């Protein structure tokens, strides 16, 4: 299988991009996103109520790697397993708190699947760390290009979770490069993805744990696709832009031309890091409400009106009655009424505040504010989406209305967290997971290029 298809061109980008092609800003961003991802894997395994069931299921299906065999590390436990199993677990944990990075234009979380697959294969083949970094960068490029090409709003309208479906293509780009595939083999691995890309939004119906599993499945499928291709398996030709390919099958409004809109490292530079463990569509509104909360008493609030992009309303504000009565952690993460009420009552929307709130979701003050919240789209929040995920917020009180419009939520490239905040988030997550202080600092240094990365990550579980 060879030629000049979209899959061939994506394969060429993934394999031909070198360190010299990546801007210094993108190279530095790799470290930030790797640090963020490692912390999330540790805390996701420790905190998320879904994690024990995933670990037990994988344990039941896994034969441990022999002491002298090549395996990949499950970060929170230190266990050595086959790379696809490590990718499954680490990718799942990384997304289990919905605290992971987000790319606006493609509306997906690239880090959870891409880094999970890349790290599993890199450790197994003992790849140089700079090659791992480059593979991560091209994985982001490919995942986000596919996400943009499928048109996020149209993809969501069909009921698909874009991180799950498009993430596996980016994860395959990274894993395939590290596995040593040539262009034809990597295009073939993308062809296998066409039969594996999956992920339904139906988890929103009952706050199910499927969403957390999706990036892990995407990463695991990427490792499988790469291994199949490395062993001569022939995948479907033109799996992305073909008549019955991914774009036409998963979207009513695809734009295949965006598959060729690739600039090395650009996707990494465009990808935001999260300060709050909830749906990214709510973050600009949270920023606005936290600012308002500094000058008012939550008991005085009469109403909260939030305007978001259409996709944000669908995920976090519709149906409004259900969003006003979340009854589990996932529901809370996808409830604009909840996160808004939390921001106003606590003056905080970080992980501790989210976890503490789970014990008093029936609090009268919290419920009153949720009932007072309305969520809708407007021309102002629609006009530049998906380039901008804006929020327009109005809080009514007896003393007057407080209005805030936020174009760029904290963590976006236009409003970056900064390295100190990224490192602080990592330390907080690792401490939450119970990691040793010395191991935390060694892993942080290694992620930033000072130390032996694979050994340092293994020590986090010691």
Domains of the chain, residue spans: 6-272, 280-406
The tens digit of pLDDT for each residue in 436-462 reads 999 999 999 999 988 789 999 999 985
The pLDDT value given to residue 1: 45
The tens digit of pLDDT for each residue in 400-440 reads 999 999 999 999 999 999 999 999 999 999 999 999 999 99
pLDDT-above-90 percentage for the chain: 90
The pLDDT value given to residue 218: 98
Q: Which residues contact 319 (CB under 8 A, 6 or more apart)?
A: none
| Mean pLDDT, range 316-322, rounded to an integer | 97
Residue whose tokens read 């407007």: 378
Structure tokens at 285: 């509104």
Assess whether pLDDT exceeds 50 at residue 381: yes
DSSP calls for 259-278: GG---TTHHHHHEE--SSSS
| Mean pLDDT, range 235-261, rounded to an integer | 97
The pLDDT value given to residue 64: 66
The CATH number fitting domain 280-406, selected from 3.40.50.2300, 3.30.1330.120, 3.40.50.10420, 3.60.15.10: 3.30.1330.120
The tens digit of pLDDT for each residue in 330-344 reads 899 999 999 999 999
Assess whether pLDDT exceeds 60 at residue 2: no
Neighbours of 448 (CB within 10 A): 17
Assess whether pLDDT exceeds 80 at residue 62: no
Assess whether pLDDT exceeds 80 at residue 52: yes
The pLDDT value given to residue 18: 95
- pLDDT interval class at 57 (50, 70, 90): confident
Q: What kind and span of H or E run contains 397?
A: strand 391-397
**Domain 6-272 homologous superfamily, CATH:** 2-methylcitrate dehydratase PrpD (1.10.4100.10)
DSSP calls for 137-156: HHHHHHHHHHHHHT-HHHHH
């Amino acid at each position: 299988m060879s030629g000049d298809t979209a899959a061939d061109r994506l394969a060429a980008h993934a394999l031909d991009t070198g360190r010299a092609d990546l801007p210094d800003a993108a190279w530095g961003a790799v470290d930030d996103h790797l640090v963020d991802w490692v912390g999330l894997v540790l805390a996701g395994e420790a905190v998320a109520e879904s994690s024990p069931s995933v670990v037990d299921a994988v344990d039941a299906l896994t034969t441990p790697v022999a002491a002298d065999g090549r395996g990949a590390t499950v970060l929170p436990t230190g266990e050595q397993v086959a790379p696809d199993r490590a990718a499954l677990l680490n990718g799942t944990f990384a997304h289990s708190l919905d605290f992971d990075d987000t790319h606006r234009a493609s509306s997906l979380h690239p880090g959870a699947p891409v880094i999970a697959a890349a790290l599993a294969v890199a450790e197994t083949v003992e790849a140089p760390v700079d090659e791992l970094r480059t593979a991560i960068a091209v994985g982001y490029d490919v995942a986000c290009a596919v996400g943009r090409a499928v048109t996020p709003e149209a993809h969501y309208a069909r009921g698909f979770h874009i991180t799950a479906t498009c993430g596996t293509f980016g994860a395959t780009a990274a894993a395939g490069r590290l596995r040593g595939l040539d262009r034809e083999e990597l295009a073939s691995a993308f062809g296998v993805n066409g039969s594996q890309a999956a992920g339904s939004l139906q988890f929103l119906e009952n706050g199910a744990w499927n969403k957390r599993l999706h990036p892990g499945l995407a990463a695991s499928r990427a490792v499988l696709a790469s291994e199949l291709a490395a062993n001569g398996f022939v995948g479907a030709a033109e799996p992305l832009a073909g008549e019955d390919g991914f774009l036409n099958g998963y979207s009513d409004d695809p734009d295949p031309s965006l598959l060729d809109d690739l600039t090395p490292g650009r996707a990494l530079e465009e990808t935001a890091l999260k300060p709050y463990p909830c749906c990214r569509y709510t973050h600009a509104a949270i920023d606005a409400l936290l600012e308002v909360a500094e000058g008012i008493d939550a008991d005085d609030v009469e109403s909260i009106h939030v305007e978001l992009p259409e996709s944000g309303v669908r995920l976090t504000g519709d149906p409004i009655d259900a969003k006003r009565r979340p009854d589990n952690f996932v529901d809370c993460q996808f409830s604009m009424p909840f996160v808004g009420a939390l921001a106003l009552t606590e003056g905080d929307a970080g992980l501790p505040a989210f976890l503490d709130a789970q014990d008093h979701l029936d609090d009268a003050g919290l419920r009153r504010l949720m009932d007072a919240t309305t969520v809708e789209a407007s021309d102002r929040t629609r006009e530049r989406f998906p380039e901008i995920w804006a929020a327009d917020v109005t809080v009514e009180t007896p003393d007057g209305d407080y209005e805030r419009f936020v174009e760029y939520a904290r963590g976006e490239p236009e409003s970056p967290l900064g390295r100190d905040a990224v490192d602080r988030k990592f330390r907080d997550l690792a401490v939450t997971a119970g990691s040793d202080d010395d191991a935390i600092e060694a892993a942080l240094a290694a992620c930033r290029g000072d130390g032996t990365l694979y050994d340092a990550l293994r020590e986090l579980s010691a």
